[in-house]
Each structure stands twice: as structure tokens, then as C-alpha cells.
Structure 1
């Protein structure tokens, strides 16, 4: 007898392959890399836009108004970003649990001997710090019931030492997370060779410091400079 074609079988086969891929350690790492790349690209775009904050209230408010004029596109981007976050968090927690079960006791190696870095050792915890900062930012800025100029809200926020301090702490966590996350991204993409691994590691660290440092400059200016967003 010939084989019987079952309606919907191709979809079932595809879903089975996807589930098997997601169930493997390699598959989860690739998914983490892909979602991490999406989030990193968002950070760069977000940083470029928010850098208008350094040019004063008028420029920053104009940027914010232009951004909100793209309402439909903005909502679509937010949905995509939410999916990236959920996938990254879910698979990050899964990998963390798997690693803890596979290796209850951490390796006794040092960074100087080519072992784990502070960024790699704290990925899960720095991720929690970033999540806390993100939720705080969404509640107090993105969804804030404030009908005044956005520059006034940000200036008022960053003039508060507790709020500015929390942002600085959270952004330090972001830098720590990125320092290893970007390095892991190179590895997942197969960009790995003894001749330039050291350069890639330094590049990841430099990029992390640059991104986190520029973001961190915003609350620092708001805290210590009276002319911030005037």
C-alpha cells in the first residue's frame, strides 16, 4: 500500500522539529543568541534616539513627538520587542536551571587563566536587574499619566537621587550583561578563532561599556547638572 497523506502532517512534522531543536542545549543557545541580537539592536536604536537628550529639551521633545506620530509602527515594534524579551527570558531561565543541575558546584577557574568572567558568572542576576529596571521605566515613564512635556518628566525623575541611583545601578547591570552577551553572540555565530578571540572579547567589552556608559550619562547629568534638559 502507498503511504497515506494525513492532512496537517507537514505542520505536525515541522512543530516536532522545532520542539526538538528548542529542547537541545545548542538550539536554546542559538535562540538566546538570536533574541539577544534583536534586543541589542533595539538598545542601539533606542540609544541613538535618546541621545537627543544631550542636545536639550527642545530637541528631545521633538524626537519624542516624532516617535509618537508613528503610532502604528511603534505598536508593531513594541509587540516584536515584547516577544524578543519573553523568549530571551524564558530560554535564559531554562539555560540557567540546566547549568545549575549539570554543575552544582562552580568551576574553580580564574579570569586571568582564561576562565569565566564577572559578566558570565552573573548573567542570570544581571538579567534580573535589567528586568527590574525595565519594569520601573515602563511604569514611571512609558505608561506614566503625565500630559506635560517628556523632558519635564525625565528631568524631574533624574533630579531625584533615589530614582537616578536606581537607573545607574540598573545600567551598570546592563553593561555587565552585555559584556558577556555580546561575546556569547560571536561564539554562537561561529566567529571564534584563537587569533582574534582576544580582540572579540575586548570589542564586546568596549561595546558594552559604550552603550551602558552613554545611557548612564543621562541620569548622572540629571542628578548633577542644573542645566539638564533646559
Structure 2
């Protein structure tokens, strides 16, 4: 335990925590996207997906608690690193000069992360913390995306998620020391595919609802 505490107190240890928790969120985002894609198959398909999740309530509760723990670790660690980096501008981490270079994603990670956090809170209030006896998730989606402002906020937010994932994915391998020159181009390509796939998949849900369903 002392070994663990000593390691996470270092900058590299904190980056490892960010990498591991970030990887967990990438997995969750892909699973969440798979569920949201049922929107394109109509109300019955989507509600069947939701009902299937409800049959797994005990497991879902555990998953939600794990995600909450990951979020607390990721956000708090990221905040600490952000302020530490601001106070040590003369000794930048090697990530600036290696595989990913200085990209929009690398320069804006703390800011996109903060905006994504705000969006997640708003998103949960719109979809998760609803009275399911009064409103189905399908109806909640229609009511929410019928509001043009929120539809735009949602689409902007998922673009930020894509940018965040694009940098975070290859940075995970960088942090773990797996940035072999032979494989890094492939890792970057996979990260780009995941980032674009997630952003596009989520982006067109409100577009589809507004243009086809409503």
C-alpha cells in the first residue's frame, strides 16, 4: 500500500492513473454508443435495449459505482496535474515532442475534460435521473432533442469527446511506455477511428431524432 501511495504521488504515477481510468471510460463510451445506436432501429428496439439493461440492475449498479469512482479519480488527478504543469512550464512532459506531437487534443485536454464533465452532469439530469414511471427514456430523448439549443450542446459535446479520446488513446500507450515507433502509427490510427466513430455515432442521434422521428 505504501508502494502504491508513493507511486501515485509522482507525476508519472498520476499519469498512469489518468491512463487507466481513461481507458475504462473509452470502453464505457463504446458500450454506451452501441446502446444508443438502437435509436436508428426505432422506439421498440431502443426500449427493448433499455428493458434488457433493467434486468441487469444489480450489475448496472456496480458498474455505475465503478464509473463514479473512475470519474472522481480521473477528474481529481487531472486537476492536480493541470495545476502542477502550470507551475512547471520549463520542464514539459515528453508527450509534447513524441508520437502525437502538439495537437489540438494535447493542448486542450484539461479544458475539454472540464467541459465534458459539465455536459455529463447535464446529460445525466436529462436522461438518467428521470421518473421512469412518468416518462420513458425514448420520450425523454424526444423531449430533450426537440429543444434545438440542447441538441446543439449535445452535438458540440460529443465532438469534444472525440477530440479528448483521440489524444487520450495514444497518450495511454505513451504513458505505459508502449510507444514503440513501429506500432505507434497503428495505435494512433486506432485512436482516430475510435474517436471519429464515437463522435459521429453520438452526433447523429439528435440529428436523426429531429429530422426523422419528430
Task: Say yes or no: TM over 0.5.
Answer: yes
Note the aligned Cα RMSD (angstroms): 2.2
Match of 1:210 among 184, 197, 201: 197
Match of 1:24 in 2: 10
The alpha-carbon deviation at position 135 of structure 1 amounts to 0.2
Cα drift, residue 46 of structure 1: 1.1
1:38–1:114 CA distance, 2 compared to 1 (3 A): closer
Unaligned runs of 5+ in 1: 1-13
- The partner residue of 1:156 within 139, 143, 147 is 143
Query: Equivalents in 2 of 1:117, 1:221: separation in Å?
Result: 31
Looking at structure 2, the residues matched to 106 and 187 of structure 1 have their Cα atoms a distance apart, in angstroms, of: 15
Give the corresponding residue for 1:167: 154
Query: How far did residue 128 of structure 1 move?
Result: 1.1
1:93 aligns to what? 79
Is the CA contact 2:85–2:92 (under 8 Å) kept in the aligned structure 1? no
Q: Does residue 177 of structure 1 match 2:146?
A: no
2:189 matches 1:192: no
CA distance in 2, matches of 1:174, 1:88: 15
Sort the Cα spacing of 1:193 and 1:212 in 2 relative to 1 into closer, same or farther, 3 A. Answer: same
Structure number with the bigger relative contact order (C-alpha 8 A, sep ≥ 6) is 2
SS at match of 2:208: helix
CA drift of 1:187 comes to 1.3
Answer whether contact 2:100 2:170 (CA < 8 A) is retained: no
Larger radius of gyration: 1
Q: What whole-Å deviation, never above 9, does each CA across 1:131-170 have from its counterpart, x for those lacking one? A: 1110001111100235232211111211211110110111
Normalised by the size of structure 2, how large is the TM-score? 0.90
Deviation for aligned residue 1:104: 7.0
- How many corresponding residue pairs? 210
Gap regions ≥5 residues in structure 2: none
